[in-house]
Amino acid sequence: MNTTDQPIIDVEDLTTAFGEHVVHEHLDLRVMSGEILALVGGSGSGKTTLLRQILGLNSPKSGSVKLWGRPVQSYVGPERLALTRRWGMLFQSGALFTALSVFDNVALPLREVHHLPSDLVRKVVLMRLKWVGLNEQDAQLMPSDLSGGMVKRVALARALSLDPELLFLDEPTAGLDPQRSDEFVELIKALHQQLKFTVIMVTHDLDTIRDLSTRIAVLAEKHVLVEGSIQNVMTFDHPFIKAFFQGKRGERALGNQPLQAEQYGKS
Partner 1 sequence: MQTFKTAFIEEPLISVEQGIAFVRGDWSVRTLSKRGEVKRRLSLLKEVPKATGWNISEMGLLDSLGGQLLWDNWGGQRPKALVATPAQSDLLSKVESGQSIPALSKPLKDKWAWIVRLGQGAQIGLEHAYALAALLGQLVIDLGSFIKSPRYGPWREISAQIFRTGTQALAITALVGFLIGVVLSYLSGQQLASFGAGHLIVKLLGVSVVRELGPILAAILVAGRSGSAITAQIGVMRVTQELDAMAVMGIEPSQRLILPRVIALALTMPLLILWTDAVALLGGMYAAKFDLGIKPVWFISQLPTAIGFTNYMIGILKGLVFGAWIALAACHFGLRIEPNTESLGKGTTASVVTAITGVILIDALFAIMLDQLGF
- Contact between 97 and partner 1 by CB under 8 A: the answer reads yes
Task: Write a three-state SS string for 144-189.
Answer: HHCCHHHHHHHHHHHHCCCCCCEEEEECCCCCCCHHHHHHHHHHHH
Task: Tell me, residue by residue from 217 to 256, as one string, x for binding to partner 1 by CB under 8 A and - for no binding.
Answer: ----------------------------------------
Task: Tell me, residue by residue from 137 to 166, as one string, x for binding to partner 1 by CB under 8 A and - for no binding.
Answer: --xx-xxx-----------------xx---
113 half-sphere exposure, CB direction, 13 A CA radius: 17
- Contact between 212 and partner 1 by CB under 8 A: the answer reads no
Q: Which of 76, 99, 243, 259 touches partner 1 (CB under 8 A)? A: 99
- By C-alpha distance, which of 124, 99, 121 is closest to 112? 121
Stretch that binds partner 1, among 25-33, 93-101, 206-214, 215-223 (CB under 8 A): 93-101
Q: Contact 16/22 with Cβ under 8 angstroms?
A: yes
CA dist list (Å): 147 to 141, 159, 169, 205, 209: 11, 18, 19, 20, 25
Q: Apex CA 57: angle with CA 82 and CA 225, to 5°?
A: 110
Three-state DSSP at 51 gives helix
Q: Which of 4, 193, 256, 260 touches partner 1 (CB under 8 A)? A: 193
In sequence order, the β-bridge partners of residue 31 are 9
- Contact between 113 and partner 1 by CB under 8 A: the answer reads yes
Q: Which of 68, 75, 131, 236 touches partner 1 (CB under 8 A)? A: 131
Number of residues that bind partner 1 (CB under 8 A): 33
Contact residues for partner 1 (CB under 8 A)? 1, 85, 97-99, 113-117, 120, 122-124, 126-128, 130-131, 135-136, 139-140, 142-144, 162-163, 190-191, 193-195
